[in-house]
Chain A
């Protein structure tokens, strides 16, 4: 698919050469310097043209999965979580596995938009928007699971410290990591949402000015909060984004650290580990970038955006993936080492069981995907082969899901007292709801790339190398465009 797309692009040779002959400083992050107008046109195209067959097929599948999710969750609320494969030994399985998995996915977004912004990494410009969108949708999926895994969502409000409260002194248990989760996730969702939306305002303005349909125009006017590209607005804007980036940065680390404490604070062998916070954060970024790769590789070809999401972007992301992947592998090693070195009877048995027990295949699948696969990215060939990267990114996603499954289920199914040991077998509802969560995720994302600019035009315009003065003009130029359109 990548080749086809490249031939469509027609600029493949240059692109390839560009890579062969070391990226020249300052590296250009957009192929064949499009004019500012081209940029606007290219990125706005998907929003204005009718969607292609590819989009409809993807959307059809995703939406079907979403409907299935709705049905199964309704049934779950009606019958109780007995319809899952859970039991007295294994109290959490797919539900919390999916939760942690999706929270992890949600990490790349903020990392790219906030941290890379602070580090002035220009290559983020063409991917940050979609990465942030992905973050939000992923966190939505994640947030769903704690709610449904109780089977009685109408009582979920007990988990919030709220007022007025007729129970006198009864409050929530601030010692419980689940309460921290609630705070962490909701904060993260809010900040990401604001950051994402703020980043879109200038582009929304552009779209407003391009918009032809009445409804579209109205909607974009509303969303762009009356943005006028004046210099004052711009400078304020830059400051706010920097501040928000500063706020968001610690969240990247905090959210998954706290999620990891759901396990680290317990005393279960396999959960009771101090290395979990860094280990989980690395894993999250790893899986996040995996998912970003997956999504962008698809969209850049389906939406013909190879020009903006270049192989060099993919290369960068591959490198991050490889790095975090190796951190994760290191964490795996450390776990086994400390189990052996610590000499704790139960800890030891747990890790022996992890590698030789009934769920060993999950463990080895995880190792294959998270330890072996990233090593292939040492070669630039691999990092720049779109098809290969796509496969890798899928592997990463699978691997990270199984990592969480191994941590949760394998630890639970053989805990301290052998009399309480038992196996977990997923039911159709476990699998259906997992698939359904993907349905939710992709439905949202597909709608996003149809309805909103999936690449930050104004930021791209900043890095195509037309020079700063042009940058300032960009907004005026937008007005010209309007004139032209009108």
Chain B
């Protein structure tokens, strides 16, 4: 977007700085105790009227500027020969017991990265939120996060964010906006024409009640919820089956057999963090691990973890459901299911059905297919298996997705007819992600007033009359109820950086609510609703404080309702499925199906301007900065398509040209294309990255369908480079990822797998008080890649961009190696987190000529950046290839125009970790800054370090708790206990490197019969 040019930017930076000034005054008090201060602008701006001084250039913010926010700005005033630059130290005028320069505060809030609404604990350092971590107190999410969640902190410092409200694209004041909106609303009232709020799934109960108030005050008000990736069918099916239009709450940890139909519940589906935790806990080979069968067309994170993965084209998935239902119905002695056709090898289906039946009541069949007949059939199936009330909770449903495709379609029709007078849009971008964006835009043009709450000029908001930028959620108050009667709160960690206003406040003002201050409204709402529903605390103030502190509140559900009876018409559904599948079956060989899916990094595309996510390798393909057409190897061979060949996909009038990626395990008649790419107006990092595939979704029987049949593939002759961080996918028969089977484990009676003590010429290294080590459970790791972003955020790892990645120069300190074994058509995949192994006999150490890398007395392999002269000898001699070299200056370098180039973006940097400059080697430090800090905290508390005091960033982020860090010298620490696990091994330990990182073997749990 051109008008987001430098000028705009610099203006932004300045105002950003002014805002930062304000933080010093009241940041801490504002979000904590006395909201009055937050809103008492006078005092804030009076703190440093002139603004905090920065480096002489004025514009540039240096790393030292972290000191700025704590009222400790340091300004470099030109070097004179060898003289020290004069550095100023500017303390607060009025001290606060909450901000102590250099000490981080932690505050609980709730993630708004997607509608899953995970509970977070955010690190706020010197007035800035700089790191997002999971809130372990949450009963649902238990301290895990996903890659998106980890990255949201960077979107707070996004240059593309609007600095002030816009009217007709011109900056204006809130008074002005309010005036115009109120006028339009009044007009709508008078003309009795429709006012519509179009929003994403609303997970916030208080916002629900604000919307309710709108309904009361405006008879012609409608609220439409729209999710680009929709759960409409699931809700509709539950209405048909149980009369309850809800998304049930699933318990993957209670199931012994899990069957997924195109449901990427470990990667993107519904609530991946929660599900990953449940799943990993449930797959622990030391207990009885659940069996997981996945039917899907493209290889998903979930599929790559399944014990049995069956590739099925999207159009045939319904038949799988039917085939399973037929078998189960037969076993259960329910009325027979029509038809006999099986979409695939009947023996496989029999085996799956047997397993399901064997564990009826402890099984779970889920599908992400947005097709209500399939969902009805699955409800029938789960009901026949008696899973409702056991693994599926429909009484305490999940409230994380409530979009309605029908309503959206109707709305668009209405708008085109010109029946919508005023349209308010929050958290949606239909001009980009609706199946027929031009229709929507046409309608948008016909509205009298279109207001967007978007934080930037995006495809939709740039066409609206007014943009009323909402706060970033780290600047905002709020609440959420992801699952019935599980509440959580949002609280601001920083005073708004720009002239933004909470969407809720706008809504309150516009219905002339007596209390336009959303914070007060929220408190009031909690007093009258949530506070009443709990018994422990009798005084609201205490309740409020506790809730803010812990961030989560769980109240007893209204009434333990009985499990509803299934009364859906599954026979009709079966007929429809078979009819529809039959059509495609006929010409299956000639034409292909295009399957649209969400990737872990990009999801539905709302975070496209977040360079951390753009650079995050896809967990399966390891491709960054682009989407592509995944095509099966055998199909590619048949069509003569090679990796990177640009192919044209045509379905009627819809065309899409994008590079092919040869994906083992891809269903042979299906091309998978990721959604969320190809944004046109999102910001410098995200514009024109990849290609938009939303056009290939369509409405069928009131559900948005995410696959298209009868696709024609042609080669264009062009090729595109794909920035992949891993180019070789076979282990070449090397003992890198070791596997074992359940049978093997059970047979293996040996007590433990003691670390092999090979004879060594080296002196014993670990003479320190501790010996830090890590253990990684390869069986728990799902490959979700949250750790990668967490590490990037914690350790100031730079973003290098597509070009550098094509040159194999990714900087991530932790990477997740993904290997395939077995045959190409149906591979077995493993994910292996790989970072510096902190060898006690480190090959890198002996070769460094200047001792820039050495092993510490506590077993850490330490890299001293200011000593490194950049011979790269260490990297050459590292068998794990985990060392990263700064080929260029990746900070403050216009050539790498990502967050570390922009002064605003650099505010996310961690002041406790040096930013590496050009020509320096770097690598995983096992978060030594956290180790040192924990020691210091223990010292302050006059106590010993306890196991668990130190969590590395990757460990903290891991939703499946695959990573454990601790002291190997403490025999009772979790990590030392894991050293005795019989699955333990070390990568390449035959080289005698003696790593301090060990792995637990992956356990294969094959179906006996399959």
Contact = CB atoms under 8 A, between A and B. Distances in A.
Given A151-B919, A417-B879, A420-B880, A87 B871 contact: no
Q: Which of B850, B851, B870: most chain A CB closer than 10 A?
A: B850
A177 B847 contact: yes
Given A152-B870, A173-B849, A267-B991, A88 B919 contact: no
Contacts of A346: 734
A345 B734 CA distance: 8
Contact of A173 (B728, B834, B850, B875): B850
Interface residues of A, number: 48
A178 to B, nearest CB: 4
A354 to B, nearest CB: 15
A56 interface: no
B877 A266 contact: yes
Nearest to B731: A418
A412 interface: yes
B872 A179 contact: no
A87 B808 contact: yes
Nearest to A416: B879
Interface in A49-103: 79-82, 85-89, 91-92
A479 to B, nearest CB: 53
A176 interface: yes
B732 A349 contact: yes
A266 B843 contact: yes
B919 A266 contact: no
A87 B879 CA distance: 15
Given A81-B919, A172-B851, A267-B991, A416 B809 contact: no
A159 B850 contact: yes
A367 interface: no
Contact of B873 (A176, A419, A423): A176
Contacts of A149: 871-872
B880 A417 contact: yes
A88 B918 contact: no
Contacts of A158: 849-850, 867, 869
Interface string B871-886: 1110111011101111
B758 to A, nearest CB: 14
Nearest to A155: B869
A176 B734 contact: no
Interface in B821-859: 832, 834, 843, 846-851
A144 to B, nearest CB: 15
Contact of B849 (A179, A266, A419): A179
A84 B847 CA distance: 23
A15 interface: no
A150 B884 CA distance: 14
A171 interface: yes
A258 to B, nearest CB: 13
A266 B875 contact: no
Interface residues of B, number: 52
B871 A88 contact: no
Nearest to A81: B887
Q: List 9 tightest A-B contacts by C-beta distance, closest first.
A: A420-B881, A82-B887, A91-B872, A419-B817, A87-B808, A178-B849, A422-B808, A82-B888, A176-B849
Nearest to A180: B849
B889 interface: yes
Interface of B: 726-734, 736, 804, 807-810, 815, 817-819, 832, 834, 843, 846-851, 867, 869-873, 875-877, 879-881, 883-889, 918-919, 987-988, 991
A361 interface: no
B919 A150 contact: yes
A416 B734 contact: yes
Contact of A419 (B726, B807, B883): B726
B870 A150 contact: yes
A310 interface: no
A422 B809 CA distance: 10
Given A87-B808, A92-B872, A173-B850, A418 B885 contact: no
B734 A418 contact: yes
12 contacts: A81-B919, A91-B885, A155-B870, A172-B851, A173-B848, A262-B873, A412-B876, A416-B991, A418-B734, A419-B726, A422-B727, A422-B808
A267 B879 contact: yes
Nearest to A262: B873
Contact of B881 (A82, A89, A146, A182): A89
A327 to B, nearest CB: 27
Interface in A225-268: 262, 265-268
A130 B729 CA distance: 53
Interface in A138-175: 146, 149-152, 155-156, 158-159, 170-173, 175
A268 B832 CA distance: 22
A415 interface: yes
Contacts of B988: 416-417
A87 B886 CA distance: 10
A364 to B, nearest CB: 23
Interface in A171-227: 171-173, 175-179, 182
Interface of A: 79-82, 85-89, 91-92, 146, 149-152, 155-156, 158-159, 170-173, 175-179, 182, 262, 265-268, 345-346, 349, 412, 415-423
A87 B807 contact: yes
Contacts of B734: 345-346, 416-418
A86 B815 CA distance: 20
B879 A79 contact: no
B849 A418 contact: no
B880 A416 contact: yes
Contact of A176 (B730, B819, B848): B848
A419 B881 CA distance: 9
B834 A419 contact: yes
Nearest to A149: B871
B834 A417 contact: yes
A86 B887 CA distance: 9
A80 B847 contact: no
Contact of B809 (A87, A146, A170): A87
A152 B920 CA distance: 9
Nearest to A424: B808
Given A268-B877, A419-B832, 14 more contacts: A88-B883, A149-B871, A151-B919, A152-B870, A152-B919, A155-B919, A158-B850, A159-B849, A172-B851, A267-B879, A417-B817, A418-B731, A419-B815, A422-B808
B202 to A, nearest CB: 43
A421 to B, nearest CB: 4
A288 B729 CA distance: 43
A269 to B, nearest CB: 10
Given A81-B887, A151-B919, A345-B734, A91 B846 contact: no
Contact of A88 (B870, B879, B881): B881
A419 B876 contact: no
A171 B880 contact: no
Contact of A418 (B815, B819, B987): B819
Contacts of B888: 79-80, 82
A266 B874 CA distance: 10
A176 B877 CA distance: 12
B885 A88 contact: yes
B873 to A, nearest CB: 6
Contacts of A156: 869
Nearest to B816: A419
A173 B876 contact: no
A172 B918 contact: no
Contacts of B849: 158-159, 172-173, 176, 178-179, 182
B693 to A, nearest CB: 29
Contacts of A419: 726, 728, 815, 817-819, 832, 834, 881
Contacts of A178: 847, 849, 871, 873
A149 B875 CA distance: 14
Contacts of A81: 870, 887, 919
Contacts of B730: 418
A177 B847 CA distance: 7
Max count, chain B CB within 10 A of own CB: residue among A151, A262, A419: A419
Contacts of B736: 417-418
